[in-house]
Structure 1
Amino acid sequence: MTATQPPLTAHRFAMRFSSTPRGARLARRLCGTRLDAWGVPYGSDAHDAVTLVVAELCANAVRHGHVAGRDFHVLLTADPATGTVRIEISDTRGERLPHLPTATAQDGDSGRGLLLVEALADRWGWSPRAGGGPGKTVWAECTGLSLS
């Protein structure tokens, strides 16, 4: 997948989180709060979809991108002019690259996160972590949103 440049934005939220389930949960909640403040209200289909994409990418950063003592980084941007929200989750584990599963066990309770991202986001992909640091950034874009 090829990387695209984030749009010029009117809204931006960036923060580091501990690479733990608690950190992923906090990231999801804070992104949900930002979306609501930016005009994507709680309980709307758009809010639920973007928040689920955030949750899945953060969970993957914790589960597959965890390096002891290293945090993951969230960058959430929104461009009201284009109605685009971009989610970028960076971790420090560059050798474990995201890919869609070829087959998932019917009764398994994991392995479907990127399938959800694929279904909910208009585009997604990954790139090497910016700034020359170790790791990768997994990004997704949701378009057609009404933002203030």
Structure 2
Amino acid sequence: MNTQDTQSLNKSFYRRFQGKDNEKIKQLRDYVKHSNYIEIPVQPSICESFGLPYIKSIFEREYTERFINYLKVKPSSRFEVFKATGIPEKYLCQVKRLLEKKGKLQVLYKGYCEVSKKSNIQFLSTNPEHWEDSALLPMSNQKTLF
């Protein structure tokens, strides 16, 4: 079964359970919201502990929301977000691409990342006020180069 089939089944199952297990789903959401990042292999057993099937979308929504909220406050690199939230960079990269396509995230600039100690790193923001604010861009050293 491919990923798309799994997601489709997951959404269908989630809709069926919404009416019957609203309280359990709410408790699971609250648990995920107040927990550190939960590794993917552990997620099904967490759902099972609430008497629910694996509902991947609850985890995805929470971690996507954390990413969005982190980037609203301060333009950051994916690595900075990973270090602060524990959400794996691979997942953040996938979400970044989706949010860019939806027009909800922009790369503000490329620069040196103090956290990863690497150059030419993308700094991201989900805050539209940041997208046009040149004060947030790093100071250029162009005048001192020559």
TM-score, with structure 2 as normaliser: 0.26
Larger Rg: 2
TM-score, with structure 1 as normaliser: 0.26
More strand by share: 1
